[in-house]
Structure formats: structure tokens, C-alpha cells
Amino acid sequence: MSENMRMWVEILFNLTYLIVIWGLVIVMILRKDAVASENRQAANLVIWAFALLALGDTGHVGFRVLAYSMGSLEAQMQILGRQIGLVGVGALSTAVTVTIFYMLMLELWRVHFSRQYRWFEYLLIASALFRLGFMVLPVNQWDSVVPPQPWSTLRNLPLMIIGLGVAYLILRDARAAHDRSFQWIGAMILVSYACYIPVILFVQQIPSIGMLMIPKTMAYVAIGFLAYYEFYQANRVEPLKSLTNTMEV
């Protein structure tokens, strides 16, 4: 695939993804009243998680599209008198929000399966907090289009720990509860990391491997739709029942 073709594939995919993920968040918000009462806490966590994911990715993939429109991924903008790389700012935004996303997914696991945090879960939280702190350091070079090594790997190791840890917890308890939706959610987290880890390790040597971010992103979209079906579709209130309840009030 030529460089020009790869650019247009990425632009089209990024714009489609943003429309889909924001549309999903909006539909979840509009259908909040359709969620069964016992699932509302978990459903609210899903909204927050995917709203943050969409917000961070709007910066990430949105700024990449903007940079392409300005002629190059090296494009910069001026903020408070300083030149800032668009791609770097976008990468930082999604790095922060995806970390919080997994902290919310951990809380979703706790709420959905009625669990308590123990040493393992606190280790995952500590990993997330360490990552957020590490990302403040100048060595991250957020202005760079291609993330620097070994710092890229070091800042992503805590994310791997919390993400794979959450996947393990979800798969363990979903299998025990015969919860097919959450089994698929756990599996999709694993798929996302199977695509993401090669990018972290080898994108500096093989730039085209960055295309694995497309199936990684599709795995997150699948998680969103699985969560929507679990909380917002399968448990929707029947119209007649809702009308009867309203009349009784």
C-alpha cells in the first residue's frame, strides 16, 4: 500500500470511528431510563468510560486528520506562545483518557460481579497512577510523531498491566457466571492488546505496523456495543409497562 493510500485509509477510518463512538455514547445517554434499576450504576460507568475514550480519541485521531490536512504529521500549532506538535498533543490526550478508561473498567468489573478490591486490584490502580505520573516527565517527548524508545515502552508497561489485569478479572468471573457478554468484552480487551503491543515495540523500526491500530480500535468499538447490548438493549423497559408505571404515579 502506497503512503498516500495509507493516509486516506487512516483518515476515512478515523472519521468513521469518531462518528460511531460518539454516536454510541449519545445513544447510551438517551437510553439511560431504559436500564434496569439494578444495572444503573454499571451502565453509568460504561457511559463515563466511553465518553472519556471518545474525548481522548477525538484529540488523538482528530489531530492526526487535522495534521494531514495541514500537509504533514509534523504539523504544529501555537498554544500560549509555544509551538506544539498536533500528533503529540493528541497522543498525550488519549494516553491520559485510556488510562482512566481502564480504571473505570476495573470499577465496572467490581460493580457488575459484586466484588471487593484486594491486593491485585490495588496493584492495578497503582499501575495506572504510576503511568499518569510518568507521562508528565519530559523524556516522553510528546512533540514527537513517533514515540521515543525506551520511554514509550516504559510508559506503556503500566497500561499493559492494568489492561491485561482487567481482562483477566472479567474473563475469570464471566466464565464462572456464564456471562457471555462479559466473556466477549474480556476477549476484545485481549484482542486490542494483541494489536497494540507490536505497535509499541516495533513502530520505530517498521512504521507501517501502526496500521494494527485499526483492528485495535475496532476491538474497543466492539466492547462498546457489547456493553450497550448488556445494559441498554437487553434490559430495556417495555413501553406498556413504562406507561402503566407512569399512570400509577
Is the pLDDT at 238 greater than 50, yes or no? no
User: Residue 240's pLDDT is what?
Assistant: 37
pLDDT tens digits along 118-133: 999 999 999 999 999 9
Is the pLDDT at 115 greater than 50, yes or no? yes
Q: Which residue has the higher pLDDT, 246 or 211?
A: 211
The identity of residue 18, as a single letter, is: L
**Integer CA distances (angstroms), 74 to 61, 85, 87, 167, 234, in order:** 14, 7, 7, 35, 46
Q: All 3 cell numbers of residue 230?
A: 448488556
User: Residue 167's pLDDT is what?
Assistant: 97
pLDDT tens digits along 137-191: 888 887 777 777 888 888 899 999 999 999 999 999 999 999 999 999 999 999 9
Q: Name residues whose C-beta falls within 8 Å of residue 138's C-beta, 6 or more positions apart in sequence.
A: none
User: Residue 2's pLDDT is what?
Assistant: 66
Q: Which domains does the chain have, with CATH numbers?
A: 3-244 (1.20.1070.10)
Q: Which of 64-78, 92-106, 124-138, 142-156 has the lowest mean pLDDT?
A: 64-78
The most distant pair of C-alpha atoms in the chain lies apart, rounded to whole Å, by: 67
User: Across all residues in the chain, what is the average pLDDT?
Assistant: 85
Q: Which residues of 108-124 are buried (b: 16+ CB within 10 A; e: fewer)?
A: bbbebbeeeeeeebeeb
Number of helices (H), then strands (E), belonging to the chain: the values are 8, 2
pLDDT (mean) for 105-124: 96
**Integer CA distances (angstroms), 101 to 61, 85, 105, 122, 214, in order:** 17, 24, 6, 16, 19
Q: Could you tell me the pTM of the whole model? A: 0.85
User: Residue 233's pLDDT is what?
Assistant: 77
Local confidence band at 3 (pLDDT 50, 70, 90 cut-offs) = low
User: Residue 75's pLDDT is what?
Assistant: 67
Local confidence band at 51 (pLDDT 50, 70, 90 cut-offs) = very high
Is the pLDDT at 243 greater than 50, yes or no? no
Query: Phi and psi at residue 78, in whole multiples of 5°?
Result: -100, 125
DSSP 176-210: HHT-HHHHHHHHHHHHHHHHHHHHHHHTTT-GGGG
Q: Which of 7-16, 81-90, 172-181 has the lowest mean pLDDT?
A: 81-90
Q: Which residue has the higher pLDDT, 25 or 36?
A: 25
Please say whether the beta carbons of 35 and 6 come within 8 A.
Answer: no
**Integer CA distances (angstroms), 178 to 170, 171, 181, 231, 240, in order:** 11, 10, 9, 16, 31
Measured distance between the N- and C-terminal CA atoms of the chain, rounded to whole angstroms: 63
User: Residue 43's pLDDT is what?
Assistant: 94
115-120 long-range contacts (CB < 8 A, ≥24 apart) are 115/169, 115/173, 120/165, 120/169
Is the pLDDT at 90 greater than 60, yes or no? yes
Q: Could you tell me what percent of the chain has a pLDDT over 90?
A: 53
Is the pLDDT at 239 greater than 50, yes or no? no
User: Residue 83's pLDDT is what?
Assistant: 66
Continuous segment of H or E residues that includes residue 172: helix 151-177
Q: All 3 cell numbers of residue 77?
A: 500549532
